[in-house]
Amino acid sequence: MQTRCRSRKIMAHQLLETLNPPSRPFDLGARDAYEIWREAKLAAFPASAQSCVIHIRDLAQPSPAEVDAVTESCARANLAIVALEEAPVAEQARSALPDFAAHLGLDVHERHRSAADDGVVDLEVSSVRARGGFIPYTDRPLNWHTDGYYNDPSAPIRAFILYCVRQAPVGGENQLFDPDIAYIRLRDEDPDFIAALMHPRAMTIPAHVEDNGDVRPASIGPVFSIDAAGGALVMRYTARTRNIAWRDDGDTAAAVGFLERLLRDGDPLMFHHRLEPGQALICNNVLHNRTRFEDAAQARSGRLLYRMRFGRPVASN
Ligand SMILES: [Fe+2]
């Protein structure tokens, strides 16, 4: 067993080295580096969301092998889905989440207006928060986005965890798409699309005044950027069509149109998953959406997910 774990770990390291080479594959001038990375990425990519499911025994204390499996899945697909053998009661899961995150190197969570001191946000239908215009707190469908696309580009959300306490009786499925694959599809179609989406003023989200009078300043930045520390690709995107301004440029319009069609029409490497109670999605802020759902009629029994967000990606061990 020990030998198997060790060889699995070596494989994961080799995979990580290939998928995160120091040769900057996202640099448009480095065609060879891109081709090597692209081939490794596509060869290592899992066949389905189901192949990213990792069964773990204890959310607060995952074993080293369980942590390695999550890390390796994130190296391949920027996501993993953890399934607990037995779903704990909600309070127990909530208190275990920060510990679980810390095992993945996610030890500093974002300060969000809806988060409690533990950094966990309840995602559930809320008439109060829905009135603020926040679709996550309704049963309406959520369009494609990466989390925190409205943040200052210098403070992106790099990872998040969604833990399912209760499913809706109907709906509430997520589609998930690795930004690395979106990058490959765009660059293979036309490298000028990448140049346009890497422009520092490609996408503007206007300033927003919140109910309490706080002003979130305008967010102006690229769709794709490179993490200066690790060399990984970072994506900032929303498919919203209101309160957004794209750079007024032919290549930008063509690139955005291509990406919209790609997300609408689907891709063989796009995943669908409906989180079940006791399951959690861990991801390096992949593109995602959510279908409409029908909530339970009884009070305190509706769909409930816990969310944590982080300014760094899952550690690659
Ligand atoms: Fe989201």
Three-class DSSP category at 135: helix
pLDDT score, position 75: 95
Split into its structural domains, the chain has a count of 1
pLDDT < 70 positions in the chain: 1-23, 114-115, 128-133, 299, 317
Give the domain extent around 209. Answer: 2-310
Give me the phi and psi of 222, to 5 degrees please: -80, 165
Give me the phi and psi of 157, to 5 degrees please: -80, 120
Residue 7 Cα to ligand 1 midpoint, Å, equals: 35
Residue 240 Cα to ligand 1 midpoint, Å, equals: 13
Residue 70 within any structural domain of the chain: yes
CA-wise closest residue to 148 among 231, 230, 219: 219
Give me the phi and psi of 272, to 5 degrees please: -120, 135
Residue 260 CB partners (closer than 8 Å, separation 6+): 239
Residue 181 Cα to ligand 1 midpoint, Å, equals: 18
Q: Give the distance between the most distant pair of CA atoms in the chain.
A: 59
pLDDT score, position 4: 44
Distances (CA, A) of 135 to 78, 131, 192, 205, 263: 25, 9, 33, 17, 19
Residue 276 Cα to ligand 1 midpoint, Å, equals: 17
Give the HSE-up count for residue 225: Cα atoms under 13 Å, Cβ half-sphere: 21
CB atoms within 10 A of CB 31: 11
Rounded to whole angstroms, how far apart are CA atoms 304 and 181? Answer: 30
Residue 146 Cα to ligand 1 midpoint, Å, equals: 6
pLDDT score, position 12: 56
CA-wise closest residue to 274 among 172, 162, 176: 172
pLDDT score, position 117: 78
Residue 197 Cα to ligand 1 midpoint, Å, equals: 21
Residue 43 within any structural domain of the chain: yes
Residue 317 within any structural domain of the chain: no
Residue 5 Cα to ligand 1 midpoint, Å, equals: 34
Residue 316 within any structural domain of the chain: no
Amino acid type, 249: D
Residue 143 Cα to ligand 1 midpoint, Å, equals: 9
pLDDT score, position 295: 81
End-to-end alpha-carbon separation of the chain, Å? 20
Rounded to whole angstroms, how far apart are CA atoms 187 and 253? Answer: 15
CA-wise closest residue to 204 among 219, 189, 186, 222: 219
Give me the phi and psi of 61, to 5 degrees please: -135, 70
pLDDT score, position 118: 81
Rounded to whole angstroms, how far apart are CA atoms 48 and 121? Answer: 28
pLDDT in tens, 134-159: 778 888 889 999 999 999 999 999 99
CATH of the domain at 28: 3.60.130.10
Both structure tokens of 55: 């069964």
Residue 220 Cα to ligand 1 midpoint, Å, equals: 19
pLDDT score, position 98: 95
Both structure tokens of 118: 């533990």
Rounded to whole angstroms, how far apart are CA atoms 69 and 260? Answer: 32
Residue 105 Cα to ligand 1 midpoint, Å, equals: 21
Residue 36 Cα to ligand 1 midpoint, Å, equals: 31
Question: Hunting for tokens 């699995």 — which residue is that?
Answer: 8
Residue 147: is it exposed, middle or buried by C-beta count within 10 angstroms (0-12/13-18/19+)? buried
Residue 36 CB partners (closer than 8 Å, separation 6+): 18, 21, 23, 25
Residue 10 Cα to ligand 1 midpoint, Å, equals: 33
Question: Hunting for tokens 């369980």 — which residue is that?
Answer: 66
